[in-house]
Every structure is written in C-alpha cells, then in structure tokens.
Structure 1
C-alpha cells in the first residue's frame, strides 16, 4: 500500500513538473494528491485506550497511517516511532495547502508531570535560556548540514490552565535567513501517565487564524477513565523527570546531557517537521516563481 502511494505521488509530481506554465494544471495535480487522503469527523478513539479526540465542526482528522505518509512521503521527514497519532486541520484546508495550519498529534508516556512549578516560572528568563540552548544546538545542526534555528521570541507566552491541566504557548522561529518566520504553537494536555502533544505547523502570517481556532482545539482531547491527571496513584505510577518549565523549554532541566536534550528537543517541539515542510514547499514555490517571472527560484519559505 505504501509503495502504491509513493508511486502515485511520484507520478503526480512528475506530471506537475511539466505543467508549470499552466496554473490550472498545477492546481489539478495538487487536487489529485489531496484526493489520496480520506478524512474523518466526529469522535476518534486513540490507540492503547488512552482517550479520544472529539472533532468539532469546521475541522477534520487524518488518521495516523495517512498522517505518517504526509510527514514522511510528502514533507520528507525520516520515519520514526510514535511520530504521529494523526492530524487535525480546518475543514476547508488540505495537507497540500500553502496557507493555514496543521496540528500534529502525539502521545508521550513520560509519566506524571508535576505542575507545582507553574506559578514560579519566569518565562522571560526561560526564553533567554532557550535562545542560548538553540545557539548551542546550531553547532551540531551545522555539522549535520542543517541551517541554524533562531528563537525570535514568544508569539504567545506560556499559559497553564490548572483546572484543565492544559499548557500552551507559541514561539516565533527563524530558519537561517528566511524572511518568513515559522510559527511553532505547542499544546500539552497532562494525563496520568504522560502528555498528549499537539504541535501546530504553520508560519507567522497565520498566527491569527491559529489563535482564533485555539479554543476549539483545546477542547478536542479527552482522556479515558484511568488515564486522567487526577487518576494519578503515587504508589504505582511513575513521576516524570519533566516539569511544566521543562515541557516549555523542551528539555529535562535536571541533569540532562546535551545529547539527551537534542533527542527531547526534536521529539517534543517537532521542529524537524517544520524544517522539512520548508524543503518540500521551496521546490514547489520556486518552480512557480521561476515559471511566472523567468527569474531564479524564490528563497526557501517556511510552512
């Protein structure tokens, strides 16, 4: 099935390469790729019985198998375990849209995250620490052939809802010298054994749309009995090495080596997804610009 999908996708993109002088043909090829996906609505049961996702009106859900195809085959990410439980996106938007946003869903069974530090965190100081860590990580990224990542600042400062046990925040990020900055909107829903992770993949021009839809997205996750935060049993349950501040920073604050930090950074913040979205869309947009103007391709754009 996966080979068939890749062959169909390759054929469509090859045909698209010959249709750059005809925007209507380009649009038809994009629509053909979109029709490879089947979306769901209503209530989605998550694997392992941890909970469910209730899809609100105006949104749709792409299951884990198809979402993995998007992340790996369309957007070029390396395949890895537990990279997605599916995607949530607006009803009128597709995975090939060059505007809007997509929320990727993951579950990380890191244990029970204590939230006692939530009121004590100085998020300005934490931001400065994250910026320093990003600069240090850029040394390793450069060695691996990736462009540097700069954390410009908070697009929305961290907020923790104690009653609902939901943490959310947004960062503005720049890849290399790209003039278009990436929006990294993060949601963490705390449970008994871990956290449900929702990461928005988008760009800063779409921040308003993401922020406007955020109340709907915050309501979609429902843990089942036995998996809720208040079901924690200190006698048998594991306590996470993460804190609220650690979730925001993207690393374990206590005794974490640099290598461990990198692993958690990619796993929680999902910047790898954003980096490779850019690689895919730069090819598409570059060809469109070259066809329209006869000049060199446009610089890479983040999506």
Structure 2
C-alpha cells in the first residue's frame, strides 16, 4: 500500500533521541486498550507482540523503517506490518506491506525493490525545505512510528479477513505495486 500524506515538513531532529522500547510499550498499551472498541465493532482483538524489525532512521536518505509483529485473535500464524516512510519537503510517502510473519525476509527484499522507484524531484526533496514559506508538521519521527492506532485498526480489518480466508501471503503483487508506485509517484511529484 502506497500513499502520500502532505501534512507538512517532518522535522527529524528527534530521531536520535527516541527510546523505541518505551514507544513500543506505549503502542502495546494503546492497542490493548482499543480492543474493546474493536470487538464491539465485530472485529477480533489484536495484540502487538513487538518489533519484527526495530525502527531505524537513515538520516542521509531521509527514510524510516520498522516492522511490527501482530497477533489477531483466531489467527495463530501472526501478522507482519512492514513500514517505510520517505520524508519530503512538504510531506511523507508511506509504504506499507502486510503479510504473515514468515514472509519477513521476502517483504523486506521486495520493499527495497519498490524503493528504487521512490525519488522526490528537485524542489520537493527534504533538503529543499524553506522555513520561510513551508508548513512544518505537528509531529516528528516518533509519531510516524506510533501512528494512529484507530487508523491501523481500519487498515487491518479488510486485510485480516483476507489473511484468515486464504492463509496465504497478503503481499501478492508487490512487484506489480512497484510499477504502480512509479505511476503514483509521478503523479504525487507533479502535485508537490
């Protein structure tokens, strides 16, 4: 899944100071507290087991990587949520892959293939930020990782049904997505 969020320039100064262990504990607590709402809405409870790949930020390429290991009630195989965020001048390109936990190595490799198509045009790169005219996002690197638990619940409701029904890799077509990413990315770069 590829999307672009234009909520302003994300300041990456906090990247080196984030305690990702503490952040994980907060995310696990949030996930657990929202389970009652999920179950009332007819969705299974979910548990954030931990990092499948701990968050790491590459300040040179302005890319943030992490993967979460999740367990949905009724699915003992576990679910992988692999995420990459690419920072730009005015927003963030979001790349997400969801699969079974056993596909971590495959997903990591295929996401690198998708990243080959990701490049901001001059004028829209992170380093092109103009403090005098550009909007700054109300959050930093830590918030990109923590995300919005409610939004994640919405993301997973359809994917969970597919996982449970097929018990196969959900990330079918990641390579096709790479081609689609280039088309989408060309459109996004044209707007930004």
Q: TM-score range by the shorter chain?
A: 0.7 to 0.9
* Cα distance between partner residues in 2 of 1:113 and 1:281: 33
- Alpha-carbon contact 1:184-1:199 (below 8 Å) kept: yes
Say which SS state the counterpart of residue 126 (structure 1) adopts.
helix
Change beyond 3 A, Cα 1:128–1:106? same
Change beyond 3 A, Cα 1:176–1:281? closer
Consecutive unaligned residues in structure 1, runs of 5 or more = 1-103, 252-260, 286-299
Q: For 1:248-259, list aligned pairs within 5 A.
A: 248-251=145-148
Task: Name the counterpart of 1:221.
Answer: 118
* Cα distance between partner residues in 1 of 2:82 and 2:64: 11
- Alpha-carbon contact 2:7-2:90 (below 8 Å) kept: yes
Change beyond 3 A, Cα 1:234–1:126? same
* Cα distance between partner residues in 2 of 1:233 and 1:178: 47
Q: Rg: which structure is higher?
A: 1
Say which SS state the counterpart of residue 128 (structure 1) adopts.
helix
Asked if 1:130 corresponds to 2:27, the answer is yes
Q: So what's the TM-score if we normalise by structure 2? A: 0.81
Say which SS state the counterpart of residue 220 (structure 1) adopts.
coil
- Cα offset for 1:166? 0.4
Deviation track 1:246-265 (CA, whole Å, cap 9, x = no partner) reads 100114xxxxxxxxx63xxx
Change beyond 3 A, Cα 1:125–1:282? closer
Superposition misfits of 4+ residues, deviation over 3 angstroms? 271-274, 280-283, 300-303
Q: Which has the higher contact order (CA 8 A, sep 6+)?
A: 2
- Alpha-carbon contact 1:172-1:204 (below 8 Å) kept: yes
Q: 2:139 aligns with which of 204, 219, 242?
A: 242
Q: So what's the TM-score if we normalise by structure 1? A: 0.53
* Cα distance between partner residues in 1 of 2:34 and 2:28: 10
Task: Name the counterpart of 1:165.
Answer: 62
- Alpha-carbon contact 2:100-2:168 (below 8 Å) kept: no
The count of residues paired between Structure 1 and Structure 2 equals 170
Q: For 1:146-165, list aligned pairs within 5 A.
A: 146-165=43-62
Task: Name the counterpart of 2:186.
Answer: none
Task: Name the counterpart of 1:186.
Answer: 83
Change beyond 3 A, Cα 1:281–1:128? closer
* Cα distance between partner residues in 2 of 1:219 and 1:231: 21
* Cα distance between partner residues in 2 of 1:182 and 1:275: 12
Consecutive unaligned residues in structure 2, runs of 5 or more = 171-192
Q: For 1:224-303, list aligned pairs within 5 A.
A: 224-251=121-148, 262=150, 266=151, 269=152, 271-280=153-162, 282-283=164-165, 285=166, 303=170
Task: Name the counterpart of 1:14.
Answer: none
* Cα distance between partner residues in 2 of 1:131 and 1:210: 23
Asked if 1:142 corresponds to 2:39, the answer is yes
